[in-house]
Structure 1
Amino acid sequence: MANPDQLANSLRTRHIMMISLGGMVGAGFFIGAASAILKAGPAVFISYIISGLIVYLVNLSIRDLALDGGPDGGSFMKQIRTHLGERVGFIAGWAYWLTWVVVLGAEVLFGAELLQPYIHLPIVTLEILILIVMTAVNLMSVKGYGEFEYWFSLIKLLAIGVFVAVALWALGRGFFGWGPQVPVMHNILGYGGFHPKGWMAVIAVVPTIFFSMNGSEIVTVAALESEDPDGNIVRITRTIAVRIGGFFLISIALILALRPWTTLDPSQSPFLFVLRQIGVPYVDTFVWAVIVTAVLSSLNSAIYVTSRILFEMAEHKDAPAFFLKVDEKTQLPRRSVIACFIGGVIVVLASTLSRDEIFFVMLSLTGTLMLFNNLLIVLARMKMDAKNQFAPRLACFLLAITFGSMFLVPSTVSQALMGAAAIVIIGIAAYFHNRRLEA
């Protein structure tokens, strides 16, 4: 019989490696890249490098924390608690949980909007139905989550691979005289130069890009339920530079090379736009299917990680002990999974009842909370080891620059302030919570 107090270790290395490869590629990248390009021009490539460097450095810190903690060291959230204290652990846990519950709800909304033209149900009914289906996947077994995420990630990787192959073919046919030549340098430099919007614009779009890359840390939580936690975390970290370069940088470079950046539509996927211009048949259906897959993948992972973080917080008395119950057969924290489902329903209903007020406030919190949790990961790494401080210090500097750049754009100033206010409120709750435990 399974240990009733322990989660399963049924994820295989193939699950972990595929999740690590495709997990950081969400719908935001397939759609949101056009907006970033239009705001910064071709110099957005530098913005992607900066954002990718931050993600890489934070993941190095996660690796070091995991190896220091050993097989029983828990997730990066537990390591924050170990090195920065119980109160900070409370703040980090609830800030992270709140972030991903809101993301979970937002993915449900977006997925329903994509599916409604084909599934003729009221939008709220469709939203709840999507949430029920993906929650059911997470209630089957941890292997069920891993298997679904394996195939979701594979589809996303194949989609990027197809795009890169077609884009290189479009460039190559002109170079070798098999077709029209693409004016690469003119497309990149012919519309105001490399940085037509100025260098401040390059910095200003970093938060948006960084947020679209977030989620790479989820696989380190999943690795704890695998057959080789430490080994898998090391393997994941080794590939992150390749993932950032291969998925984000090459794709953006090809988009910039193939079409004038000024012709992009911020409301449309730049991948769809470029493939249409090349003349690829059935491209609308192809890109739609990929984006739906990316949404379901993000939703699947959001349910998974929020339930595990809630379970871990319950272990440390930061959440009710009710959430510690593990199903004896599947070794799943079913109550935590269902609680996250309820959280997603609340976000969906908030969007339905007050999209421009309550839901907007919820969504506005997530960016600052993501930055805050990344900062705590790096600070925990610095506290863990007084030596080898260059990488975490550089990460702290870049995270501070990213937060500061949110004040360069009017639309993100309110997000920064509301996120900071949420951290203060959670901090006050942590203070009274700790006093109650100590009484």
Structure 2
Amino acid sequence: MSSQSTLAPNETPPEGDGLKAGLKNRHLSMIAIGGVIGAGLFVGSGSGIAAAGPAILVSYALVGAMVVLVMRMLGEMAAARPSSGSFSAYADQALGRWAGFSIGWLYWFFWVVVLAVEATAGATILNGWIPAVPQWAWALIVMVVLTVVNLAAVGSYGEFEFWFAGIKVVAIGAFVIIGLLAVFGVLPGSDNPGAGFGHLTDAGGFFPKGPGAILTGVLMVVFSFMGSEIVTLAAGESEDPQKAVTRATNSVIWRIGIFYLGSIFVVLTLLPWNDPSITKDGSYVAALNSIGIPHAGQVMDVIVLTAVLSCLNSGLYTASRMAFSLGQRGDAPKAFARTTSRGVPRTAILGSVVFGFLAVWFNYQWPDTVFNFLLNSSGAVALFVWLVICFTQLRMRGMILREQPEKLVVKMWLFPYLTWATIAMISFVLVYMLTDDAGREQVLLSLLVAVFVVAFALVRDRVQKRAVKD
């Protein structure tokens, strides 16, 4: 399937024939599975456990439920109308041009900042292994390599992601199985006493910091779930988009259940939540050490590096496809909508990676000022995206039923009640973030950037309408 351009007749057409169906079913399956496993799960979970104790499981369950509902809504729209612009294109159709423009650019901004974060994280690990190469050089190397991968063909991105996401999936699956064997004391040679479920309550109960800590935990884990929606963008370049989206949407529950709840549950049953090693070494390294796995730190470094490179690869792919879609709709420079003969949106990729390089440079030059502003001003964008998906689905359901009822193969449960309930949940999280020092800065700065982008979009629409009338 190739994407059809929606450029105005007087604009320069794309060089190629649009995006190509270069992603195979196995690519889409692994992108869907690996999309929910970010480096944040490995790196940030220790802080969440320290803040909420075993109750962090409830935090993960609440956010996981929210993501499942959002993905169900997005799956409903993406199965009916596959698009490389995903929710941005749907917002354009259902809410108005300003909405598609605004959320598309905000999402692009989010991912190009993520490029800098992940490149720096990967460079830190690589610099620890080979100190002779400076950290900034490692960041440059990983960005260049993954840019080349994405420029080659969409199949190159899919193949890279298939193997790197596969490593993440196998690693967490093995961790859960080995960990559970140790928990019940049946793992041969394990150093862990195998306390069963005792550690969930033996250090101050299941709610050692009080039930309110669940909400603190929600704020700490919510952003580690970003990336679930990538499969709906990638589906536009697959051989059977409807089948790919349907399968990914239906499997999101067990993916979150195993990879997030399952792995954190194992950590909390292997060690008391207040064990100092969880924050000192990281939750997964501490758990592996408690079993007696040799070189646990080095093993986890390899897995985290894999997760970082996978996230970087997907971030560049996602940002470029969103830029491509914006270019198609006339909401970005028309060059972004051009593709090579291989169906690669080269200009959109290069435009995204240039900003990513710039953000990496800001991180090394002004980490506490310019880069901190970029980080915080994109921090709440994930929640804005989820809100827009909810409001879009409320309108899009009726449009699909009127125009293509046979395409409604994935349906949101208990529509519209669960959609409104999800809107309420996301809104509550945003409001609650205002009571948290770090969260408050993220929400306010992200809101400031969002208001600027929306205002620009509305003024632009008005100017364009006047020009048409004149």
Shorter-chain TM band: over 0.9
1:409 equivalent to 2:436? Answer yes
1:144-223 equivalent positions in 2, closer than 5 A: 144-173=156-185, 181-223=193-235
Structure showing the higher helix proportion among its residues: 1
Q: Which amino acid aligns with 2:304?
A: I
What residue number does 2:112 align with?
Answer: 101
- Counterpart Cα distance in 2 of 1:268 and 1:278: 14
Judge conservation of contact 2:199–2:273 (CA < 8 Å) in 1: yes
Judge conservation of contact 1:45–1:249 (CA < 8 Å) in 2: yes
4+ residue runs over 6 A deviation: 175-180
Judge conservation of contact 1:259–1:274 (CA < 8 Å) in 2: yes
Please report how far the alpha carbon of residue 436 of structure 1 lies from its aligned counterpart in structure 2 after TM superposition.
Answer: 3.2
Please report how far the alpha carbon of residue 252 of structure 1 lies from its aligned counterpart in structure 2 after TM superposition.
Answer: 1.0
1:347 equivalent to 2:359? Answer yes
Please report how far the alpha carbon of residue 5 of structure 1 lies from its aligned counterpart in structure 2 after TM superposition.
Answer: 3.6
Judge conservation of contact 1:66–1:74 (CA < 8 Å) in 2: no
Judge conservation of contact 2:182–2:190 (CA < 8 Å) in 1: no
Please report how far the alpha carbon of residue 127 of structure 1 lies from its aligned counterpart in structure 2 after TM superposition.
Answer: 1.2
1:424 equivalent to 2:455? Answer no
- Counterpart Cα distance in 1 of 2:355 and 2:125: 22
Please report how far the alpha carbon of residue 118 of structure 1 lies from its aligned counterpart in structure 2 after TM superposition.
Answer: 2.2
Residues 203 and 283 of structure 1: is their aligned pair in 2 closer, same or farther, counting only changes over 3 Å?
same
What residue number does 1:235 align with?
Answer: 247
Residues 60 and 339 of structure 1: is their aligned pair in 2 closer, same or farther, counting only changes over 3 Å?
same
Please report how far the alpha carbon of residue 180 of structure 1 lies from its aligned counterpart in structure 2 after TM superposition.
Answer: 6.5
Q: CA RMSD in A?
A: 2.0
CA-to-aligned-CA distance 1:309-340 (integer Å, 9 cap, x gap)? 00100111111112121102x11000100011
- Counterpart Cα distance in 2 of 1:412 and 1:337: 31
User: Aligned to 1:272, which of 273, 276, 285?
Assistant: 285
3-state DSSP of counterpart to 2:281: coil
What residue number does 1:393 align with?
Answer: 420
Judge conservation of contact 2:37–2:225 (CA < 8 Å) in 1: yes
Judge conservation of contact 1:185–1:257 (CA < 8 Å) in 2: yes
1:113 equivalent to 2:124? Answer yes
Judge conservation of contact 1:65–1:384 (CA < 8 Å) in 2: yes
What residue number does 1:295 align with?
Answer: 308
CA-to-aligned-CA distance 1:82-124 (integer Å, 9 cap, x gap)? 1010011111111100011101111011111111022322222
- Counterpart Cα distance in 1 of 2:443 and 2:329: 29
- Counterpart Cα distance in 1 of 2:211 and 2:372: 29
Judge conservation of contact 1:204–1:408 (CA < 8 Å) in 2: no
3-state DSSP of counterpart to 2:378: helix
Q: Which amino acid aligns with 2:145?
A: V
Judge conservation of contact 2:181–2:187 (CA < 8 Å) in 1: no
User: Aligned to 1:89, which of 80, 100, 108?
Assistant: 100
- Counterpart Cα distance in 1 of 2:374 and 2:189: 53
Q: Which amino acid aligns with 2:206?
A: F
Moved more, 378-387 or 113-122: 378-387
- Counterpart Cα distance in 1 of 2:143 and 2:171: 25
Q: Which ranges of structure 2 fall in alignment gaps of 5 or more residues?
A: 3-14, 399-413
What residue number does 2:389 align with?
Answer: 377
3-state DSSP of counterpart to 2:194: coil
- Counterpart Cα distance in 1 of 2:71 and 2:263: 22
3-state DSSP of counterpart to 1:266: helix
* Superposition TM-score, scaled by structure 2 size: 0.89
Please report how far the alpha carbon of residue 172 of structure 1 lies from its aligned counterpart in structure 2 after TM superposition.
Answer: 2.8
* Superposition TM-score, scaled by structure 1 size: 0.95
1:281 equivalent to 2:308? Answer no
3-state DSSP of counterpart to 2:446: helix
1:319-338 equivalent positions in 2, closer than 5 A: 319-328=332-341, 330-338=342-350
Moved more, 38-47 or 73-82: 73-82
- Counterpart Cα distance in 2 of 1:183 and 1:28: 28
What residue number does 2:461 align with?
Answer: 434
What residue number does 2:75 align with?
Answer: 63
- Counterpart Cα distance in 2 of 1:28 and 1:52: 14
Tell me how many residue pairs correspond in the alignment: 436
Q: Which ranges of structure 1 fall in alignment gaps of 5 or more residues?
A: none
